[in-house]
A and B are shown apart, each in its own frame.
Chain A
Amino acid sequence: MAKETKKNPFEDQEESNWHPAEIRRRDIQKLLENTKKLAETYGSFLEIKRKGWEKMLKSKQRDIEKRLKEQNG
């Protein structure tokens, strides 16, 4: 997400006065961004795990085939 460059409207104020303001919900944005990141990273983690299991499954299948070959001559 692009970094915000919005100027703080309250930065130069000497006393508290009303200002036109661009209201946003950074808390919800941040929460969604973090949840998204969590889901993405968890996805990568699962991918590695899946590949590992697939590798293991293949090697097990190879072992079985090898054993069958040996048994059958």
Chain B
Amino acid sequence: MAEFQALLRAKAEWKPHQIAKAGDIGALAEAAKDLAEVVKKTLSLASIAMEIVKLLALLQSINPLLIALEALADEVLKQINDIKEAGFWYLYVDPYFIKNVNPMPAFSYGFEQLRSPEGDRLWLTKDDFGNFVETVDTPTDADITAGLSIPFLATPRKLIPGGYNPHAGADSDPLAEISPFPKFSSKQVIEEMVKAFEDEGDVPRFKAVAGAPKNEVVVYDSDGNSYSGWKRGKDFGLQLYDIGKDQEDGSVIKDYKASRIPVNTKVAMGKPNIMGSTNYSGGSGAIAIIIGDNSFDIFTETFDKFSKMFTDIPEFSGAAGISLADSFNELITPANTIVKLSQCDTNYGLFTVGDTIGGDIYGGILEITEINADSVIASSMSTLKETTITDDAGNTRVVNVVVNPNEDERWIDMEITGKPYRTVDGLNPFITGDVVYEMEKRGTAGVGGEANWVNVGQSTVTLPKKQRIYPKVGKIAMEKLAVLPDSTPPDFGGIQIKDIIPGWGEFFQILENFVKQLKGMIADSTIFIQDMIDMIKGIEAFLNELIDLILEFLAFFQITLPSTGVFALYIENQNEGNDGLKSTLKGATGVPDLAYSAGILFVGTEIGGKNPIDLLALVLGLL
């Protein structure tokens, strides 16, 4: 039930975004800004210091350098200002990591079909005499419909993921197409993006702050327009303010913006809007990016690179350090399980280490890694036997006596430890009472190429007794979880980008010290020339180190995401607001239907004749 409710809640939501503002990338931008500011400050002091010690001649020679430095520092500050001023909405569609949309299971159930040792499906096709003959040649659907061929199904019938479905056609092997990873196609990502524009309730929402004015007081928007109908308990669609102060320190307030206090605060961003209106007709543009591939491996690899490149998007900053594939592997590598087996029949052989066993009804599969030698004992079995006894007088009486049917110790108990396999429909448990059979490989199942396990001798079930191959067999007495193995670092969520990109943490540490040193240098420089020289030497060494670190970062950010697995749609500024973006998204072609996909949609609205989306397009290399 809880899981179902979680499914209902899964929804991609619009969020605000300013590039290079959050996460480590944001911290890097802040650090660059600090450096530029410190350099600027130092420059103005540099000339004063030199004048004091009468180094005017030298000052002349470095003047051009000072000018160049000033310009560079200004450039860094301007760039940071530019990229931070550009604000966007973004919609992140992620069925795998954040899971704000629901991927579909990548399999369907069907009847288990027998397979050759190579894993090919077995069919029964009529020969010239009308007798069914076993073959691996896939018949046509017409032959199947005409009854000339039939799938060779396992006896007794069993529903399995990737089994034979009479309605799906015989052409493709359903087992080859199943996947342990749920699918979310590129088309579904686009549908989610379109849907996000259609959500009528997804509007900006503002809640009253503590100490907000009482109901029906006139409130004001950011431009000073007045609004009636204020109610503390209701959500409103725009930022509202009180009237502000009349006076401050006895003087008349000139700047009403500075004197007012917000009466509500934003609790939901809502879909892209201008001044709270989502039905605006003004300029808007968008960049949609889809990361997708038909191979889960390529998809996760590209997704990882993408997330590392965009750590200024909060959803990705949390993801840094652990790959999507790693987190899935963690899921599909369950802890070892201890299973107590009973009535293991020695007539068909006892299970040994290395055997793979599978539950007949509930489908649990595990490979035996250890057998507890002390636990191998004869099964305790008892039954009642009706017997007739005669007393000394010759009277007979029917009585029930307890007998041990396992006197010859044919049936054995044992406790085994095993590595469970997660099948595409999940990690199936071993339920008490289920019969387990020895299993063998028959080809592979699904896109991951995992082994397809079937009961030993499954294809001989319908043959005469002498030709049958019997699997080892036992019954589940109990299952208990073994102690969880120690996790292998990096643990989920326990690593930060500074730990995985060389020098990242060091960068900020050194920069901080550098700023402190510069400040110290200015104060001391006129007093001790030797100290000054030593300090300059230290800073020079630091700068060299800094340059080396920047080179490392540059190497990282010069990675371009390969076009394999990444598709972009750039919707230039247009005047039909959200509706225009929605219809362009709906109508755009060119992206293939990829099985595993995630996506992000950036939307920018025109401000003062400019749309920040153009800047983003430039930044991302789309222009």
Tell me if chain B binds chain A: yes
Interface residues of A (CB under 8 A from B): 6, 8-10, 15-50, 52-54, 56-57, 60
Indicate if the CB atoms of A42 and B25 lie closer than 8 Å: no
Q: Nearest B residue to A51 by beta-carbon distance?
A: B58
What does the 1/0 interface line of B18-55 toward A look like (CB < 8 Å)? 01100001001100100110010000001000100101
**Interface flag for B401 (CB, 8 Å):** no
**Interface flag for B500 (CB, 8 Å):** no
Indicate if the CB atoms of A56 and B306 lie closer than 8 Å: no
23 contacts between A and B (CB under 8 A): A8-B622, A10-B622, A17-B569, A17-B588, A19-B590, A22-B621, A23-B620, A24-B309, A24-B558, A25-B619, A26-B618, A26-B621, A27-B20, A27-B619, A32-B553, A34-B75, A34-B79, A38-B36, A41-B65, A41-B72, A46-B536, A48-B58, A53-B533
Q: From the candidates A17, A21, A57, name the one contacting B622 in the complex (CB within 8 A).
A: A21
Interface of B is mostly: helix
> In the complex, given contacts A16-B571, A25-B25, A39-B35, what are 17 additional A-B residue pairs having Cβ atoms less than 8 angstroms apart?
A8-B622, A17-B588, A18-B588, A20-B566, A22-B563, A23-B560, A23-B621, A25-B620, A31-B20, A31-B83, A36-B554, A38-B36, A40-B543, A42-B69, A43-B540, A49-B46, A52-B50
CB distance from A61 to the nearest CB of B (A): 10
Residue in A24, A39, A43, A56 with the greatest tally of chain B CB atoms within 10 Å:
A39
Indicate if the CB atoms of B621 and A16 lie closer than 8 Å: no
Q: Which residues of B contact A22 (CB under 8 A)?
A: 560-563, 566, 621
Report, nearest first, the 7 A-B pairs whose CB atoms are least far apart: A21-B568, A20-B563, A18-B590, A18-B591, A24-B621, A17-B590, A50-B536
Cα–Cα distance between A41 and B572 once the two chains are bound (Å): 39
Indicate if the CB atoms of B557 and A23 lie closer than 8 Å: no
Q: Which residues of B contact A25 (CB under 8 A)?
A: 25, 309-310, 557, 619-620
Cα–Cα distance between A47 and B310 once the two chains are bound (Å): 37
Q: From the candidates A17, A19, A34, A48, name the one contacting B61 in the complex (CB within 8 A).
A: A48
Q: Which residues of B contact A57 (CB under 8 A)?
A: 529-530, 533
Decide: A36 near B547, CB < 8 A? Known: A23-B309, A49-B62: yes
For the complex, count residues of B whose C-beta is within 8 A of A: 76
Q: Which residues of A contact B622 (CB under 8 A)?
A: 8-10, 21, 23
Residue in B550, B561, B569 with the greatest tally of chain A CB atoms within 10 Å:
B550
**Interface flag for B76 (CB, 8 Å):** yes
Q: Which residues of A contact B536 (CB under 8 A)?
A: 46, 49-50, 53
Interface residues of B (CB under 8 A from A): 19-20, 25, 28-29, 32, 35-36, 39, 46, 50, 53, 55, 58, 61-62, 65-66, 68-69, 72-73, 75-76, 79-80, 83, 288-290, 306, 309-310, 529-530, 532-533, 536-537, 539-540, 543-544, 546-547, 550-551, 553-554, 557-564, 566-572, 584, 587-591, 618-623
CB distance from B268 to the nearest CB of A (A): 28
Indicate if the CB atoms of B591 and A21 lie closer than 8 Å: no
Q: From the candidates B554, B564, B587, B618, name the one contacting A32 in the complex (CB within 8 A).
A: B554
Q: Which residues of A contact B591 (CB under 8 A)?
A: 18
Indicate if the CB atoms of A6 and B621 lie closer than 8 Å: yes
Q: Which residues of A contact B558 (CB under 8 A)?
A: 24, 29
Indicate if the CB atoms of A16 and B32 lie closer than 8 Å: no
Q: Nearest A residue to B306 by beta-carbon distance?
A: A23
CB distance from A7 to the nearest CB of B (A): 11
Cα–Cα distance between A44 and B536 once the two chains are bound (Å): 11
Decide: A21 near B530, CB < 8 A? Known: A28-B25, A42-B69, A42-B543: no
Q: Nearest B residue to A17 by beta-carbon distance?
A: B590
Q: Nearest A residue to B532 by beta-carbon distance?
A: A53
Q: Which residues of B contact A53 (CB under 8 A)?
A: 529, 532-533, 536
Cα–Cα distance between A43 and B282 once the two chains are bound (Å): 49
Q: Which residues of A contact B557 (CB under 8 A)?
A: 24-25, 28-29, 32
Cα–Cα distance between A8 and B62 once the two chains are bound (Å): 42
Q: Which residues of A contact B562 (CB under 8 A)?
A: 22
Indicate if the CB atoms of B532 and A18 lie closer than 8 Å: no
Decide: A23 near B561, CB < 8 A? Known: A9-B622, A43-B543, A46-B543: yes
Indicate if the CB atoms of A16 and B569 lie closer than 8 Å: yes
Q: Which residues of A contact B29 (CB under 8 A)?
A: 31
Q: Which residues of A contact B623 (CB under 8 A)?
A: 8, 10
Cα–Cα distance between A43 and B20 once the two chains are bound (Å): 26
Q: Nearest B residue to A52 by beta-carbon distance?
A: B58
Q: Which residues of A contact B68 (CB under 8 A)?
A: 41
Q: From the candidates B540, B550, B559, B589, name the one contacting A36 in the complex (CB within 8 A).
A: B550
Cα–Cα distance between A38 and B511 once the two chains are bound (Å): 13
Indicate if the CB atoms of A50 and B568 lie closer than 8 Å: no
CB distance from A3 to the nearest CB of B (A): 13
CB distance from A11 to the nearest CB of B (A): 9
Indicate if the CB atoms of B72 and A38 lie closer than 8 Å: yes
Residue in A16, A20, A30, A35 with the greatest tally of chain B CB atoms within 10 Å:
A35
Cα–Cα distance between A30 and B58 once the two chains are bound (Å): 32
Q: Which residues of A contact B543 (CB under 8 A)?
A: 39-40, 42-43, 46
Cα–Cα distance between A40 and B46 once the two chains are bound (Å): 17
Cα–Cα distance between A7 and B80 once the two chains are bound (Å): 27
Cα–Cα distance between A28 and B79 once the two chains are bound (Å): 10
CB distance from B465 to the nearest CB of A (A): 61
Q: Which residues of A contact B568 (CB under 8 A)?
A: 9, 18-21, 23
Indicate if the CB atoms of A42 and B39 lie closer than 8 Å: yes
Indicate if the CB atoms of A21 and B76 lie closer than 8 Å: no
Q: Nearest A residue to B42 by beta-carbon distance?
A: A42
Decide: A10 near B62, CB < 8 A? Known: A23-B620, A36-B551: no
Indicate if the CB atoms of B289 and A21 lie closer than 8 Å: yes
Q: Which residues of A contact B587 (CB under 8 A)?
A: 15
Q: From the candidates B65, B73, B310, B567, name the one contacting A19 in the complex (CB within 8 A).
A: B567
Q: Which residues of A contact B83 (CB under 8 A)?
A: 27, 31
Cα–Cα distance between A10 and B571 once the two chains are bound (Å): 10
Decide: A29 near B290, CB < 8 A? Known: A23-B561, A35-B35, A57-B530: no
Indicate if the CB atoms of B589 and A18 lie closer than 8 Å: yes
Q: From the candidates A10, A21, A24, A45, name the one contacting B66 in the complex (CB within 8 A).
A: A45
Cα–Cα distance between A15 and B536 once the two chains are bound (Å): 58
Q: Nearest B residue to A21 by beta-carbon distance?
A: B568
